Amino acid sequence: MATKNEVDLGEDIEKVNEDIGHLWDFLFSPDLWISIGIAALKIFFIVIVALTFVRISRNLVDRLFKRREKGPIRLTERRENTLKKLIKNVVAYVVYFIAIMMILDNVLGFQVGALLAGAGVAGLAIGFGAQNLVRDIISGFFIIFEDQFSVGDYVGVAGIEGTVEEIGLRTTKVLSWTGEMNILPNGNVTQVINYSVHNGLSIVDINIPYESNVAEAEPLIEEIVETLPDKYDFIVGKPEIIGVQNLDVSHFVIRVIAETLPGFQWAGERNIRREIQHKLYQEGVEIPSPRIVMYSGNEKDNILDKNRERGQ
């Protein structure tokens, strides 16, 4: 006769086998796979519609701004690029949010209303700790509204210099000239240096050795600066020779300034310096170098005696 433990073990095994059978029937039930297939088709359809709507909206935004060019309202190219990217991003965020809500509600069966209500209560509590997020969004709004800078501008913000790639409501992307992409929270943009709004000024100092005098050096520099506006489109007007800026140990300094298009002041300095140096080299004016003059003891005494005689 079987013992009680053996009977209980047999019942447990039979129950496990029964549960496995139910699970097997559930996993390979036609109704389950049909419902999964229908849900997958619904999700696929919602995603395709959302992506299509985003693409169509982007094309509409581009056409809208092209038609605006013929209208009475005029926007700068910088501001136009900024607004276009901002509108496209906002539309994409809204469409994707609606698509996710539709998938949760219509496909997966979540109670979106209750979920949103709970999120609202939780958001009220989280909002007290999300001051930085609110500050970033408000700062981003005023950056765009006040046109502090736009996409394509070369700016200096938060210790970073580069070209603005994108302006969002929360962050700004700045591409450094060395290739780094810097993503800055808009709340950190407390001071902006925008190099792309007004014309720049190239300042070039030319070192001339004392063996050449000002009367010889300035005409040579004047001759070359007259040709620069024709060679370089970004130089606005004829550069101006300010005059002798400084007297150094082995040379004197002649300063040249030139007005350039926005953001081209550094290119102007490099090209002006190269053209003037080439001209001076052709005319035999050498670049000054530091010099050390050494005297022997006797020569030193003779020089001191001559200086005393001159002082008398």
Rounded to the nearest integer, the mean pLDDT of the chain is 77
Question: Quick one: average pLDDT of 208-231?
Answer: 85
Per-residue pLDDT reduced to its tens digit, 222-266 = 888 888 988 898 898 889 888 888 888 778 888 999 999 988 888
Do the domain assignments include residue 24?
no
Whether the Cβ atoms of residue 160 and residue 174 lie closer than 8 Å to each other: yes
Kindly indicate the confidence band of residue 69, based on its pLDDT and cuts at 50, 70 and 90: low
- Is residue 2 scored above 60 in pLDDT? no
Among candidate residues 194, 221, 242, the one where a domain is terminated: 194
Among candidate residues 153, 172, 194, the one where a domain is terminated: 194
Do the domain assignments include residue 158?
yes
Q: In what order do the strands lie in the sheet with 251-260?
A: 200-209, 251-260, 235-247
The model scores a pTM over 0.75: no
Query: How far apart (Å, rounded) are the C-alpha atoms in residues 223 and 205?
Result: 16
- Cα separation values, 139 from 34, 101, 136, 145, 267, Å: 50, 29, 5, 10, 33
Residue 175's pLDDT is: 92
Q: Which domain does 183 fall in, by range?
A: 131-194
CATH for 174? 2.30.30.60
Long-range Cβ contacts of 158-162 (<8 Å, 24+ apart): 158/184, 158/188, 158/189, 158/190, 160/184, 161/193
Residue 312's pLDDT is: 45
The DSSP 8-state label assigned to residue 227 in this structure reads T
Kindly indicate the confidence band of residue 304, based on its pLDDT and cuts at 50, 70 and 90: low
- Is residue 298 scored above 80 in pLDDT? no
Q: Tokens in use for 184?
A: 């800055």
CATH for 276? 3.30.70.100
Residue 130's pLDDT is: 62
206 shares a domain with 190:
no
Cβ burial, residue 293 (10 Å; 0-12/13-18/19+): exposed
Does 144 or 245 have the greater pLDDT score? 245
Do the domain assignments include residue 301?
no
37 shares a domain with 122:
yes
Least confident of 143-147, 233-237, 262-266, 276-280: 143-147
Does 17 or 155 have the greater pLDDT score? 155
Do the domain assignments include residue 288?
no
Choose the most confident range, by mean pLDDT, from 23-37, 143-157, 294-308: 143-157
Kindly indicate the confidence band of residue 132, based on its pLDDT and cuts at 50, 70 and 90: confident
Among candidate residues 127, 158, 173, the one where a domain is terminated: 127
- Cα separation values, 216 from 134, 167, 220, Å: 63, 52, 7
Question: Quick one: average pLDDT of 207-229?
Answer: 85
CATH for 72? 1.10.287.1260
Query: How far apart (Å, rounded) are the C-alpha atoms in residues 26 and 29?
Result: 5
Do the domain assignments include residue 258?
yes
Do the domain assignments include residue 117?
yes
186 shares a domain with 257:
no
